[in-house]
Structure 1
Amino acid sequence: MNTAVELPKVKRRSRRWLRIGALWSVVVIVAALASVAVVKFHWHDRLYFYVVSQLDAARWVGKSIWLPDYKVVIEAKPIVGIDDDLSAITYDYDQDRLLAMTNAAPYMIVALSKSGEIIERYPLRGFDDPEGLTYMGDGLMAVADENLQQIAFFRMPEHPGDIIDAKDTQFLALGINLSKHNKGFEGVTYDAVNDRLFVTKERDPRQLYEISGVKKSLEGKLQIRVLDLTSWVDRSVFAKDISDIYYDPNTGHLVVLSQESALLIELSDQGEMVSFRTLLGRFSDLKKSTYGAEGLTMDNDGNLYVVSEPNLFYRFSKP
């Protein structure tokens, strides 16, 4: 009789322990996923800076880019004619066109329409690892070489198809905190009014430099000044890496792009975090995340462009 009575109790205890075990398994999985999210995407930082930006939003009305207002207009459009490693983009305001660059053979700069079609091609020869690209006005370009940690300067050819040869360029090298394994200079942008280049190092460590007097020096009057702004990155860039940077002449603000964190961050002219928007799908208006985002720029109309590996084109605009 006792055995017959005890068996149901044993079965009930077993089912109870199975439920408890299953619950703990769910808790462990959730905790593990949360840990990954915190480490990879810095969710705790995103939450903190979201609250900060919202509390400070009124201060920046009419004085900022304000990234949360930007909505995707063209998403992940493959650029026909480029197969792999689209690494940078800039805006040629003299000819009202986009200039993009590839980091896979054959290296080249391509002129693009604002909807992502190739207009012209300019082959690159002798470049080691071209990653960053910016337009400096009057046809002058700057290309950041990641492996060599140097910036090459040249003028765009007058005729499409003409080769841009590295041996014909002028360059500035900064061998500071050299890193191995493809973690050198990644982004470059230009402030034409104050003749300043902003150059970023991708990671290990992430760094930001301001180089002033560049154009004057190229014209024959040496006035180079290098300023380390890495403290801005440490204070305000809550992302794992920096894959590109853009200087906005209308506000004097910088926009930082992170490939690994799928994130855009706006910084003030004093390095304060002003606003940000995610490039993660399901957490924004994007259908899919842009984990390969390598370059960004803006045009005179305020449209924001992002290019992503292998050959994807994005355009964001304010409604």
Structure 2
Amino acid sequence: MYLRRAIIFGVVIFAVLFYIKEDIRYLYRLYERYNDKPSALNLRAYVADIEGKEVKGVKDNLSGLTWSDKHRLLFAVVNKPPEVVWLTSDGERAGSLPIPEITDPEAVEWMGDNLFRVGSEKDGSAWLVNIDILKGNYQLLSNIPLEGYTRPGNNGLEGLAWDKENQVLFAAKEKKPVIISRVDVQREESSVSTLPASVTSSVRDVSGLHYHSPTASLLVLSDESNKVLEINSEGLVTDRLYLNAGWAGLAEDIPQAEGLALDDEANLYIVSEPNLFYRFTKKQNGRTRLYRPEMSLE
């Protein structure tokens, strides 16, 4: 009799927790944000106006993301086969270029002019590459090896971000453990330091980075934790953008966020595997959603 009551009680508790889990998550996230002090970027104000749009011409493994002021385009990478893909701000594929010499590219960052850093998860290196999209060719110039980024396999280099003013490259190791490195490329031999583990203690992995120069903030994307963190120059989290249904105007969870970027008008972009594109803009009265999963653009 006692065992039966215990089982029934356990089932009831489980059922109650199952039905209120979203309420629990909502309350926890309010608690997370309680001491946050948003910068001028105001990350929490972003709302999706393009959601889950399939990038035609890309079947799978879309990863990494960066905005080029010169080209007025977004750049991403695909790892099988290795290639760089460029997209419009509406998520349309505008072109691509095979890069077979870089194995397993997972991150890309525009450095200025035709220069990009492409991150190889296989060899744990950030390659400096000259990419000419008009001529359809590229040239490998140099690379920065990142110690410890190749172990264990498939948990390595996942994000790059460039602080142009201070000539600092940020790199992120996905997990086991999560590492964010700061590479001072001004020195003859690049100086590498590691941000404190406390910076990423609230996320289970890192799948993308972006440096926002106007606020000197580092944006950290986490696929497994479904969020973007804004981290200030002191290593403190100042704001968060959640990537689940019901947050930031999303109708559905972002399935596997693998790259993020901001353009020069502060629009925020995220790509997700297999080939999905998202755009977020600041909240505005009368804002019209341009695309969501149930819409058809055809």
Q: TM-score with structure 1 length normalisation? A: 0.80
Query: 2:110 aligns to what?
Result: 135
- What does 1:103-142 correspond to in 2, within 5 Å? 103-105=79-81, 107-142=82-117
CA distance in 2, matches of 1:33, 1:301: 40
Q: Alignment partner for residue 203 of structure 1, among 163, 169, 175? A: 175
Percent identity reads 29
Work out which of the two has the higher radius of gyration on C-alpha atoms and give 1 or 2.
Answer: 1
CA distance in 2, matches of 1:133, 1:177: 16
CA distance in 1, matches of 2:243, 2:84: 25
Residues 48 and 160 (structure 1), Cα distance of their counterparts in 2 relative to 1, 3 Å cut: farther
Letter of the structure 2 residue corresponding to residue 246 of structure 1: H
Q: TM-score with structure 2 length normalisation? A: 0.86
Query: 1:50 aligns to what?
Result: 33
CA distance in 2, matches of 1:44, 1:208: 29
2:158 partner SS: strand
Report the RMSD for the aligned CA atoms in angstroms. 2.8
Unaligned runs of 5+ in 2: 284-298
2:66 is equivalent to residue 90 of structure 1: yes
8 Å contact 2:76–2:107 — kept in the other structure? Answer: no
CA-CA distance at 1:227 after TM superposition: 1.6
Q: Alignment partner for residue 102 of structure 1, among 65, 74, 78? A: 78
CA-CA distance at 1:291 after TM superposition: 2.5
Runs of 4+ in 1 over 6 A off after TM superposition: 17-20, 32-38
8 Å contact 2:199–2:231 — kept in the other structure? Answer: no
Moved more, 267-276 or 20-29: 20-29
CA-CA distance at 1:117 after TM superposition: 0.9
CA distance in 2, matches of 1:209, 1:270: 15
CA-CA distance at 1:91 after TM superposition: 0.4
CA distance in 2, matches of 1:242, 1:103: 18
Deviations 1:5-58 (A, max 9, x none): xxxxxxxxx9xx9888544312034558989999xx8x88644321112xx4xx
Unaligned runs of 5+ in 1: 1-13
CA-CA distance at 1:176 after TM superposition: 2.5
Question: How many equivalent pairs are there?
Answer: 282
CA distance in 2, matches of 1:28, 1:121: 49
CA-CA distance at 1:209 after TM superposition: 0.8
CA-CA distance at 1:95 after TM superposition: 2.0
- What does 1:21-100 correspond to in 2, within 5 Å? 22-30=8-16, 46-53=29-36, 56=37, 60=38, 63-100=39-76
Query: 2:236 aligns to what?
Result: 272
CA distance in 1, matches of 2:280, 2:78: 21
Deviations 1:228-264 (A, max 9, x none): 11x1x42454110000110001111011000111111
8 Å contact 1:46–1:238 — kept in the other structure? Answer: no
Q: Alignment partner for residue 281 of structure 1, among 232, 245, 266? A: 245
2:154 is equivalent to residue 182 of structure 1: yes
Deviations 1:61-103 (A, max 9, x none): xx43221100001000001110001011100111221111112
Query: 1:228 aligns to what?
Result: 194
Query: 2:291 aligns to what?
Result: none
